[in-house]
């Protein structure tokens, strides 16, 4: 009887282990880091879907319990990020967290108002043409202070020039005849923020022939998105 119970327990243990192994096979399991083969096999659409899945985990509170220290060690000699994120400087909109990704998964550039510059364009060309990332996401967020500053025409040192890059979105955003065109109008701010993400995408493609060619060849996508600070959800526009 004891032998039989032991055998039954052993079978159950092996069965549970097998189920655990089987359920841990997806490519975004917490401890997996990208290698060249995984990166090459990914399409731009797959990259976007992986970001969406990670954001859903963040919103639902089911984020992976990652061993970031171990991931840092595994990626010390090489990196193969699948996506590039241009996000605002805002402390509440950290791409690695809201997309639930680990060390070595994302290239991230952050600047107030998620505006582009020559340095950022060069970084994106490296990230995609040289390092193989499949998608560039320009991500704004709700209640953006930089956009509010642009809406109010704020001038402050070097910030003045940065906000000037948002002004085309401010100027292009309509409002009802009786509505304010400034930061006191929350709906206007949100509309300008969304317009600015699309404007920056257009400027990336206009200013970088390298990135435009990669898009035309189907190698990458460049897409705008909005992060809702209240819900955590990222909407791809």
Phi, psi of 193 (to 5 degrees): -60, -45
Number of neighbouring beta carbons within 10 Å of residue 23: 9
Q: Quick one: pLDDT at residue 60?
A: 97
Separation CA 2–CA 8 (nearest Å): 10
Domain residue extents for the chain: 29-236
Nearest alpha carbon to residue 184 among 148, 147, 140, 150: 148
Separation CA 101–CA 133 (nearest Å): 14
Would you say 151 is a known binding-site residue? no
DSSP lists the bridge partners of residue 139 as 87, 225
**What average pLDDT does the chain have?**
88
Q: Per CATH, the architecture of 29-236 is what?
A: 3-Layer(aba) Sandwich (3.40)
Percent residues over pLDDT 70 in the chain: 86
Q: Quick one: pLDDT at residue 77?
A: 78
> pTM for the whole thing?
0.84
* Residue 31 confidence (pLDDT) above 60: no
Would you say 88 is a known binding-site residue? yes
Nearest alpha carbon to residue 235 among 81, 72, 51, 65: 51
Q: Quick one: pLDDT at residue 33?
A: 67
Separation CA 220–CA 127 (nearest Å): 11
Percent residues over pLDDT 90 in the chain: 72
* Residue 107 confidence (pLDDT) above 60: yes
Secondary structure (H, E, C), 62-110:
CCCCCCHHHHHHHCCCCCCCCEEEEECCCCCCCHHHHCCCCCCCEEEEE
């Amino acid at each position: 009887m004891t032998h039989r119970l032991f055998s039954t327990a052993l079978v159950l243990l092996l069965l549970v282990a097998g189920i655990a192994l089987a359920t841990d096979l997806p490519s975004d399991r917490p401890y997996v880091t990208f290698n060249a083969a995984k990166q090459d096999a990914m399409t731009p659409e797959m990259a976007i879907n992986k970001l969406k899945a990670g954001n859903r985990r963040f919103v639902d509170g089911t984020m992976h319990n990652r061993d970031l220290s171990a991931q840092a060690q595994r990626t010390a000699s090489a990196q193969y990020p699948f996506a590039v994120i241009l996000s605002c400087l805002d402390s509440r909109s950290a791409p690695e967290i809201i997309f639930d990704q680990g060390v070595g998964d994302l290239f991230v550039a952050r600047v107030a108002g998620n505006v582009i510059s020559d340095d950022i364009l060069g970084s994106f060309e490296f990230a995609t043409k040289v390092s193989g990332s499949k998608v560039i996401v320009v991500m704004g967020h709700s209640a953006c202070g930089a956009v509010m500053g642009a809406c109010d025409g704020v001038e402050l040192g070097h910030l003045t020039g940065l906000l000037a890059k948002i002004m085309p979105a401010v100027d292009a955003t309509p409002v009802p005849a009786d509505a304010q065109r400034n930061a006191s109008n929350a709906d206007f701010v949100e509309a300008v923020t969304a317009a600015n993400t699309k404007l920056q995408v257009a400027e990336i493609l206009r200013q970088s022939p390298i990135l435009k060619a990669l898009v035309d060849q189907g190698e990458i996508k460049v897409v705008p998105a909005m992060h809702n600070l209240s819900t955590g959800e990222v909407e791809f526009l």
